[in-house]
Amino acid sequence: MTTSASTKVSEQLCFGGKQLRFKHQSAVTNCEMQFSVFLPPQAETRKVPALYWLSGLTCTDENFSGKAGAQRVAAELGIALIIPDTSPRGESVPDDSDGAYDFGLGAGFYVNATREPFVKNYQMYDYIVSELPALVEAQLPITAVRSISGHSMGGHGALVIGLRNPERYRSISAFSPICNPINSPWGIKAFNGYLGDDQSQWVHYDAAELLAKTQQAKPILVDQGTADNFYPQQLRTDSLIAAAEQSGSNAQIRLQPGYDHSYYFIASFIEQHLRFHANYLSC
C-alpha cells in the first residue's frame, strides 16, 4: 500500500496549539480523503500521543473540531486529536440510490465493504486502523500511542475497532454508540448494503457481540443520554451492558438523565472522556 503525502488545507491557532485540516489521495478508499488534526502546544517540542475521534452519520471531519470544545482540555493534557471523515467522497464514489442520510456518502459505518459497487471505496475500517495512523505518524509529531473514541455511528466504529485491535489502542470511549447494529435498523440497512446478506460477517462489526466474547478488552467508557430520540431502538445500549456483564469487562456504561443525541451532550462530557483517555495515554 502506497499512500500519497497529505496536503495542508487550513491552519488556525487554538489554545496555544494548531487546528489543522489535510487532504490526501487514499490507496485504501481509492479517492481523495480529508481529515482534521488538533496539535497541542506540546507538539512544538516533542511527539505527542493521539486520540482518534470517529464522527457519526452525515458528519465530516469538521463537526467534532467545531462543536465539541475538545481542544482546550487536549491542549492542557498534551493529546493530539485525529478526526477523519465518515466515508469516502467524490463524484465516482457510489452513494445510496435514494440519497438517504444513513447509507453511502457520510455513512461509511467504519466497515470494509465486500459488496459491489461499494467494495472499491468503502474500506473505512482499514483506513482508520492502518492507513490514517501510518500517515499522521510519519508526517506529524504524533507517536504510535493511541486511544479511540466516537459518537453514534462513530461510537460504533470506535468500539469495534478498539475491541478488535487491543494492541493498537490504550483505551476506548463512545457517546451514544450504535452498540448492537446487527439488531438495529441503521445497522441492518448498512450491513446488508456493504456486506451482503451473510450475517456471519456482520458480527465482526458488532460491539455487543465482540464485547461479550472478549477476554482482553481495554478500558472502556460509554455515555448515553436517556432523552436521546434514537435510544434505545437504534442504539441498543442494553445489549452492550449485558455484554459487559457477560465478559466481566472493564467497561463503564453510564446513562445520563435528560441528555439527547446532539453535540451539546458531547460538549458536556468531552472533558471527562479526554481525562479518562489521558490516564492511559501517559502510561
Question: What pLDDT shows up at residue 283?
Answer: 58
Which of the residues 24, 151, 156, 261 is marked catalytic? 261
CA 108/CA 128 separation, integer angstroms: 11
In tens, the pLDDT along 176-190 reads: 999 999 999 999 999
Residue reference for cell 436521546: 228
CA 242-247-253 angle, 5° bins: 50
Is residue 228 among the annotated active site residues? yes
The C-alpha cell that represents 110 in the structure block: 467504519
Whether the CB-CB separation of 238 and 244 falls below 8 Å is answered with: no
- CATH number belonging to the domain at 7-281, selected among 3.30.930.10, 3.40.50.1820, 3.30.70.1140, 3.40.50.720: 3.40.50.1820
Q: How far apart are CA 198 and CA 232, in angstroms?
A: 25
pLDDT tens digit sequence for 220-268: 999 999 999 999 999 999 999 999 999 998 899 999 999 999 999 999 9
| Catalytic site includes residue 55 | no
Q: How many beta carbons lie within 10 A of that of residue 150, not counting itself?
A: 32
| Region for 136 from its dihedrals, namely left if φ exceeds 0, alpha if ψ lies in -120 to 50, beta otherwise | alpha
* Residue 277 is a catalytic residue: no
Choice among 102, 206, 223, 228 that is catalytic? 228
Q: Which of 87, 152, 239, 249 is catalytic?
A: 152
- For the chain, the domains span 7-281
Instruction: With a cut of 50, list the residues of the chain below it in pLDDT.
Output: 1
Question: 179-182 — which CB contacts under 8 Å span 24+ positions?
Answer: 179/207, 179/208, 179/222, 179/235, 179/236, 179/237, 179/239, 179/240, 180/206, 180/207, 180/208, 180/209, 180/236, 180/239, 180/240, 181/109, 181/156, 181/205, 181/206, 181/207, 182/206, 182/209
pLDDT attached to residue 27: 97
